Amino acid sequence: MKSRIWILSVLVLANAATAGPAWAQSAPASTAAPASTPAPASKSSVQDDPAVLVPAEPDVVVVNLPTTMRMPLFKGNFRLTHRFAGNLKRGSFADQARNLFGIDQGAIIGFEYRFGVAPHTQASFYRSSFDKTIQFHGKYDAVRQGGAIPVSLSAIASIEGTNNFQDKYAPSFGVTVSRLVGTRVAAYVSPIWVGNTAASLSASTHDHDDHDVALVPETPRRSTTVVGIGGRVRVGGSTYVAAEIVPRVSGYQPDEPSFGVSLEKRVGAHVFSLTFTNSFGTTFAQVARGGATDSLYLGFNLARKFF
């Protein structure tokens, strides 16, 4: 009997000894350390992210003039331009309707791809079927609006050449200054110097005593300084109206200043713009040369962001 009591006591003590450590390792749920939650992103960090949509500035251009829209590093943007050849100011409405408002008369087509090659820096390649022009373009977003800084500023530089970059080279240098008002209004001023804008002029000849004699006209200034003015207004959640005019303030100034108006719709990463311009021009030199008097052309821009 005593031996049984002794054996039973040993078993009870052994069970208590094994249960003690297990109880000590099982902390009550109320004493567990709370899981850490990440702090919400600050407003300034969101503004510093170039991948975040800025509702007032959805595209890299107004109509043709550059904006200050930024590109994330190693991300891209594709842009397609059409300027139909039918002049909307010629003929009656019935005539325009028969030609589908210029669409049946062909188009000047261009395409561009730009890429974020470094922080705040974009590089782009653009080709227009107008004189087979190729333009290489760079933009550096030097200043960003925010806090005590009232505007954004981007420096731009480009070189373009006709005949697939073999003739009539025209360099450009300038800046674009923008001011965004809330999420609905963006205003732009773009002073740009463009070289060799009179490159399309050539000497004429006539027959004089059986000899061709060149009649060289008075040499025009072969550069143009423009101050482009543009703006965009968001009239709905993703619908915009944009307009620009490009006065020439010095240098070669043929015909009328270039202008353009567009109605735009943003759908996700796409922006579609229905444009009305007085010129087929889309490069810096083409725009600086101006538009034609009594002319208006239907067209469109289509942009796709890859970020």
Task: State how far the alpha carbon of 287 is from the alpha carbons of 64, 232, 253, 262, in Å.
Answer: 8, 19, 11, 16
**Contacting residues for 161 by C-beta, under 8 A, at least 6 apart:** 133, 134, 167, 168, 169, 170
Asked if 267 and 56 count as a contact pair (C-beta separation under 8 A), the reply is: no
pLDDT band of 7, cuts 50, 70, 90 = very low
Measured distance CA(12)–CA(141) in Å, rounded: 79
**DSSP states of 183-240:** TTEEEEEEEEEEE-TTTT---EEEEETTEEEEEPPPPPPSEEEEEEEEEEEE-SSSEE
Write out pLDDT tens, residues 17-41. Answer: 444 444 344 444 444 445 445 544 4
Task: Tell me: pLDDT of 200 over 90.
Answer: no
pLDDT band of 129, cuts 50, 70, 90 = very high
**What is the pLDDT at residue 24?**
40
Maximum separation of any 2 CA atoms in the chain, in Å: 150
Task: Tell me: pLDDT of 211 over 90.
Answer: no
Average of per-residue pLDDT across 300-306: 98
Measured distance CA(299)–CA(277) in Å, rounded: 8
pLDDT band of 48, cuts 50, 70, 90 = confident
Average of per-residue pLDDT across 152-164: 98
Task: Tell me: pLDDT of 218 over 70.
Answer: no
Asked if 79 and 111 count as a contact pair (C-beta separation under 8 A), the reply is: yes
State the average pLDDT for the chain: 85
Domains of the chain: 53-198+215-306 (2.40.160.40)
In 8-151, DSSP assigns E strands to: 76-87, 107-118, 121-128, 133-143
Asked if 228 and 260 count as a contact pair (C-beta separation under 8 A), the reply is: no
**What is the pLDDT at residue 47?**
63
Q: Hey, which of 43-47, 72-76, 101-105 has the most confident mean pLDDT?
A: 72-76
β-strands 185-195, 211-215 pairing: unpaired
What does the block give as tokens for 108? 């000047």
Name the DSSP class of 159.
Answer: E
